[in-house]
Structure 1
């Protein structure tokens, strides 16, 4: 949340003054008709490329490069179409005054730039564990509800994608407010980072550092999805009557959409509706400046006061950085959605795909047993960091996968089937010693193959990370690969120990 940008430039949005201007921003140079026509041609090409069905394994990078090439041509054509950002730091005093004027209680903290994590919140007094240190009224939040109530509302009512994708409608809402001449949220939007460190901002060479990662396809698919969305909405804004009055029509560049999506992706949270019946997506000012640390979720929404309230998850002495816990996310999730890797992440994990081959003569029986255990015959399992890397559902799969016909038949006809299946997920149970050895040997082999697929070693990646001139993006990509390889290596060693 707080750790989102490698630059100190602000969003440079609305801050009074003329349409889309204010706050000391440089006005756009404008668009010429030829560039507009050229961009529409390129947008049609982008929509076609980014809407293609899944490509064969091993072709994802080739497809990505093809999509990226069109995106870069669009970006070059759109230079000068949008506002130049201003310093975030210049906008903080106005933001803090806006918070104070509208009932935010945050006297115990202030915004500070830290050597690690960038901008975050600093304690200005000793904060005790479980002490309430921020209260933010709903009226200051940008939400999917405020999006529907805004000038974007008529388009949301008509467009199916905006109706079902809350994060997209909120991103466009942020952009509309950024270019509005009188946005209530201008002081908030102006302190957003001008750029982000998510993989959407990776240069081509930086992206290649993720090759071999178990999450490489997810990163490429995210870029493809955002490119497709951009092309779709660009055409929509140029053709739909409901979009005619929106401030986005002449400044909806790829860079601005990428920025808005990243703003929402790195800061979004869920809050209840006023009646408490549903959850909606929201951006919560000031609270979203907190950086992440291991701990427990300590934020709740008080329907009585209609405010978000954040309690300190531990003691924070005066002048120390105040952290919150973003949730039990993997480092892949942190990088893709928040733009950082957290090496100390105690909840880190990787997804490993395993399945029973349909050519297996016992496929039907194994699939039936797994189904009764709530496990699909072909699925992904989480392998965790730490001393207990194998979750119960993976242990059940391994034991069923290596069962012989007699054991499968006994399980399927047993009067105590539920207890039997439950026992298969416990480390202190086994079917037979021979079958147990086969199960752990299979996992060890599978994990070893995955490690080899990285085509590098943990030691080599650690050496690469020592390079002093490495970009933030390249370092984050290598940190993710290192974390994945360490998890797999630890789990393979665990399997080897269990086998022996």
Structure 2
């Protein structure tokens, strides 16, 4: 049996390795967040409270520099992703009987299980059916199996002496993957490169939106430092800020949610097939507007219908005359292209948002009632999934209401340019042509008039003189 290391052994290793600030901090269990970091003395906002030296950070570079693991990793072509490199590094250290005592003390202090959505039962996940989390989790379940299978074939089987398969199973892989997801720190460096790392002890810090962003990576030394994100008194829990993260991402990566999260979003994916009419012309317009033919646009509680959604759809639904006018004016679809185009996209949005809301497993009001009645155990997986569903439904309802209000305003128009609808296709415009005989119906063009005539001719009568 490998030796199990207690957290205080990890702290001893950290101090011996040059970590600074541990005398003012300690690991502790808190009622709301579980394991976290407690202050032993006061700290002022901005004060450096902890530094983890470069030598003991978990990084891709350190994995490749390991005398045993590095050569095995180098044998894999193309190279593993940073995520798979770090997960393999964690499992490799955890599997060793000796020689990695310090790092193994860190691994031993990590949670033995996680509450990420990939560990939900089917019944628990069904509570958030219709959400982006549900879709992504289903996709992840398959991709994780595929990625693990590839690791087995490309690396583990090729180096059985380093990777005993009973310690590198799919369940082991999922544990290491969730460790990386929930505890990694990402930094964008000045040269445009990015750095992903795990920092022992610092990875025990929990999230609070009340704390300012407070962890920094020193490129020159390679050290990771944590500053006080706010003032602390002895006995307070120290927090870092993960950023403005919606519940769907918090639950998928970190295994928790924030009830009533103000950062909840719904990612709206807009796409156009390359064989659609005028695709090349429209693609150039999307690019000029800072978009692409497939664009993912987050809808938020504060901006449920962003301008980029309207920009994208104005271009997507533009006909030949709309495109000609836009090209002539060098327009980027910041304003409506035409009344008919605007009505068409807003009708589409209202219908689409309604369809999306109808796809949720449990409507918002029923979920709120169930939560109030304690149907879901507070803090449990189903309870967390319910909060994800609540957040996304609230965003979509706001988006639908916004689209309805805009549609109503466009359809009412001004007294100088009232809107009418084509009797055949229903397209609204101020530029319709009346039937030359009865003057009672209008069309957006000759093709619609011809298509509609078979059904219209029975009632088409010249107006009485």
Cα deviation code 1:37-93 (max 9, x no counterpart): xxxxxxxxxxxxxxxxxxxxxxxxxxxxxxxxxxxxxxxxxxxxxxxxxxxxxx222
Corresponding residue for 2:397?
489
Q: Say yes or no: does 1:314 pair with 2:237.
A: no
Show the counterpart of 2:43: 127
Query: Aligned match of 1:191 in 103, 109, 112?
Result: 109
* Pair 1:149–1:495, CA change in 2 (3 A): same
User: What CA distance in whole angstroms lies between the structure 1 residues aligned with 2:89 and 2:282?
Assistant: 49
SS in 2 for 1:352: strand
**Structure with more contact order per residue of length (Cα contacts < 8 Å, sep ≥ 6):** 1
CA contact (8 A) 1:276 1:303 kept: no
SS at 1:116's partner residue?
A: coil
Using the TM superposition, name which of 388-397 and 130-139 deviates more. Answer: 388-397
Q: 2:3 aligns with which of 4, 22, 25?
A: 22
Matched with 1:369 is 285
Distance 1:182 1:378, change over 3 A: closer
- Residues 108 and 127 of structure 1 are in contact (CA less than 8 Å); yes or no, is this contact kept in structure 2? no
Is the CA contact 1:398–1:443 (under 8 Å) kept in the aligned structure 2?
Answer: no
Instruction: Give 1:333's aligned residue.
Output: 249
Matched residue SS, 1:347: coil
Q: Does 1:259 align with 2:175?
A: yes
Q: How does 1:278-427 map to 2 (within 5 A)?
A: 278-294=193-209, 296-356=212-272, 365-386=281-302, 388-403=303-318, 405-414=320-329, 417=330, 420-421=331-332, 424-425=333-334
Q: Do structure 1's residue 182 and structure 2's residue 99 form an aligned pair?
A: yes
Aligned 8 A contact 2:47 2:228 in 1:
yes
Q: Is residue 2:71 matched to residue 1:154?
A: yes
Q: Secondary structure at the match of 1:111?
A: strand
Number of aligned positions between the proteins:
401
Q: How far is the alpha carbon of 1:306 from its aligned partner?
A: 3.3
CA distance in 2, matches of 1:152, 1:284: 19
SS in 2 for 1:494: helix
Q: In the alignment, is the contact (CA less than 8 A) between 2:212 and 2:230 conserved in 1? A: no
Mark the CA change 1:304 to 1:344 in structure 2 (over 3 Å): closer, same or farther. farther
- 451, 462, 474: which one pairs with 2:382? 474
Q: 1:239 to 1:292 in 2, by over 3 A?
A: closer
Please list, as runs of the form range in 1=range in 2, the aligned pairs for 1:94-113 lying within 5 A after superposition: 94-106=9-21, 107-113=23-29
Instruction: Determine if contact 1:268/1:282 at 8 Å carries over to the other structure.
Output: yes
The RMSD of aligned alpha carbons is 2.9
1:143 to 59, 70, 76: 59
Structure 2-normalised TM-score? Answer: 0.77
Deviation at 1:153, TM superposition (A): 1.3
CA contact (8 A) 1:198 1:262 kept: yes
Deviation at 1:320, TM superposition (A): 2.5
Q: TM-score, length-normalised on structure 1?
A: 0.72
Write the deviation string for residues 462-490 of structure 1: whole angstroms up to 9, x where unpaired. Answer: 23333254772222222211111111112
- The answer as to whether partners of 2:129 and 2:359 remain within 8 angstroms in 1 is no
Offset from partner CA, 1:432-481 (integer Å, 9 cap, x none): 56654544343232212211111431111123333254772222222211
Query: 1: distance between equivalents of 2:42 and 2:180?
Result: 31
Give the CA deviation at 1:303. Answer: 3.3
1:174 CA displacement: 0.8
Q: Does 1:246 align with 2:152?
A: no
- In the TM superposition, what is the alpha-carbon distance from 1:286 to its structure 2 partner? 1.4
1:214 aligns with 2:214: no
With over 3 angstroms needed to count, the CA separation of the structure-2 counterparts of 1:176 and 1:451, relative to structure 1, is: same
Whether 1:460 aligns to 2:366 is yes
Instruction: Identify unmatched segments of 5+ residues in structure 1.
Output: 1-19, 25-90
